[in-house]
Amino acid sequence: MPRQLREVVFVDGVRTPFGKAKGQYAETRADDLVIKCIRELMRRNPSLPPERVDEVAIAATTQIGDQGLTIGRTAALLAGLPQSVPGFAIDRMCAGAMTAVTTTAAGIAFGAYDVVIAGGVEHMGRHPMGEGVDPNPRIISEKIVDPEALSMGNTAENLHDRYPTITKQRADAYAVRSQAKTVAAYDAGKLQPHLVPVATRSADAGWGLATTDEPVRAGTTMESLAGLKTPFRSHGRVTAGNAAGINDGATAALLADEETARELGLPIRMRLVSYAFSGVEPEVMGAGPIPATEKALAKAGLTIDDIDAFEINEAFAVQVLSLLEHYGIADDDARVNPYGGAIAMGHPLASSGVRLMTQLATAFEERPEARYGLTSMCVGIGMGGTVIWENPNWTGNNTEETS
């Protein structure tokens, strides 16, 4: 029988403060980080009966140890959700949480779910990227993948080669702005509502409380970045200053069918418009957001000129700048990452997609004139992902509803 698709809405999103690898979460379990996020979502949305959650999808890139054992299910149980609530694990490397959202959102649109929790976690201090993997040797020997594709820093240097106008100076300038915007966002209280404080412990220092992102470097200047080493290439352009670090953290989002959200009195912060994932040459994986964005825009019947707000993951400055250059958008366009990004906050791989969405929802609330926004990121092994959202606070939409 024919089925009618339903509207999918973003209800809420939270995250832990992000930490440096072997930093504030060195002695904290990965699953405990995402459990905190799930519990916080339920606490913030008391009108949602726990038994109404139909699925919990949690992503991790390195699914071993405390990030293994079908973490969506085990985290749901440990968070106190009823045993009737199922869960699963998902992996699309950096776009893990983004894929957890799009996968479960498709289930909502189809009618399989009414309410879901989707998110991600990465404890890179405990589980470095690539730990325990055994790549098939044919992927290299048969030249399916360039060996440089297995080093994210090398892929960023390769992207600089593809876009020679994106110099190290431009990348550093972008990084300085990212740090400054994040510091300003904290000073203005913009980011704190997204964060779940996390109790931390250290055998040496005792108990503590993580309340802010550990990687933020206030006072970053062009001069302080100029002398940093280029570890991936002699006289290269990628440094620790214009790239995201190695980080720990978790995120979780609450999604629902719009009618169910209204029935339960849940907030509607964004509507899903379209999404797309695309592949590119793995050795220039940072270019992935470009075809993914083209694809998502085409599916939505939109152009880049329709997008009023951007949240682009800053795995590397060059990755964001290549997308902006492709579309003729200025490096310092105010619509792009207004609260800063991963260069300042950190990028715990599979968790970052929901951070982008949570920040976009905040931008939508602050900018009712913005109708459409996108979240986009590059993905290891040569992919990109983009999700396009509509602002329910859009003034034109409100005018239509009241006319």
| Tens-digit pLDDT profile for residues 254-270 | 999 999 999 999 999 99
Distance (Å, whole) CA 337 – CA 328 = 16
Task: Mark whether 37 is an active-site residue.
Answer: no
Statement: residue 2 has pLDDT above 90: no
The model's confidence at residue 378, banded by pLDDT at 50, 70 and 90, is: very high
Instruction: Give the per-residue pLDDT at 397.
Output: 64
Instruction: Give the per-residue pLDDT at 16.
Output: 98
Report yes or no on 217 lying in a domain.
no
Report yes or no on 252 lying in a domain.
no
Pair of tokens at residue 47: 């009108």
Report yes or no on 59 lying in a domain.
no
pLDDT in tens, 133-168: 888 888 877 778 888 888 899 999 999 999 999 999
Instruction: Give the per-residue pLDDT at 228.
Output: 97
Task: Mark whether 378 is an active-site residue.
Answer: yes
Report yes or no on 293 lying in a domain.
yes
The model's confidence at residue 398, banded by pLDDT at 50, 70 and 90, is: low
The model's confidence at residue 399, banded by pLDDT at 50, 70 and 90, is: very low
Instruction: Give the per-residue pLDDT at 377.
Output: 98
Choose the catalytic residue: 37, 94, 127, 194.
94
pLDDT in tens, 201-213: 888 888 999 999 9
Kindly report the average pLDDT of the chain as a whole number: 95
Report yes or no on 223 lying in a domain.
no
Long-range contacts of range 166-170, CB-CB < 8 Å, 24 or more positions apart? 166/318, 166/321, 166/322, 166/325, 167/237, 168/230, 168/236, 168/237, 168/239, 168/242, 169/222, 170/317, 170/321, 170/331
DSSP 77: H
Residue 323, domain extent: 138-190+273-389
Distance (Å, whole) CA 215 – CA 337 = 17
pTM (predicted TM-score): 0.96
Structural domains counted in the chain: 1
What proportion of the chain, given as a percentage, has pLDDT over 70? 98
Q: Look up the CATH number of the domain holding residue 322.
A: 3.40.47.10
Kind and range of the H or E run holding 256: strand 247-257
**11 vs 395, higher pLDDT:** 11
Residues in Cβ contact with 396 at an 8 Å cutoff, skipping those fewer than 6 apart: 371
Report yes or no on 338 lying in a domain.
yes
Task: Mark whether 94 is an active-site residue.
Answer: yes
User: Which ranges in 82-194 belong to alpha helices (H)?
Assistant: 96-110, 138-141, 152-162, 168-187
Decide: 23 and 286 in contact? Cβ < 8 Å: no
* Burial class of 1 by CB neighbour count within 10 A (0 to 12, 13 to 18, 19+): exposed
Instruction: Give the per-residue pLDDT at 304.
Output: 98
pLDDT in tens, 306-334: 999 999 999 999 999 999 999 999 999 99
pLDDT in tens, 4-24: 899 999 999 999 999 999 999
Task: Report the SS3 class of residue 389.
Answer: strand
30 closest CA partner among 127, 130, 129, 96: 127
Instruction: Give the per-residue pLDDT at 403.
Output: 31
Statement: residue 279 has pLDDT above 90: yes
Decide: 190 and 362 in contact? Cβ < 8 Å: yes
- Arithmetic mean of pLDDT, 163-177: 98
Instruction: Give the per-residue pLDDT at 143.
Output: 78
Distance (Å, whole) CA 179 – CA 181 = 6
Instruction: Give the per-residue pLDDT at 141.
Output: 75
Choose the catalytic residue: 37, 123, 127, 378.
378
- What sign does the dihedral 217-219-221-223 (CA atoms) show? negative
Report yes or no on 221 lying in a domain.
no
pLDDT in tens, 37-78: 999 999 999 999 999 999 999 999 999 999 999 999 999 999
Report yes or no on 283 lying in a domain.
yes
- Arithmetic mean of pLDDT, 347-362: 98
Statement: residue 130 has pLDDT above 90: no
Task: Report the SS3 class of residue 210.
Answer: strand
Instruction: Give the per-residue pLDDT at 221.
Output: 98
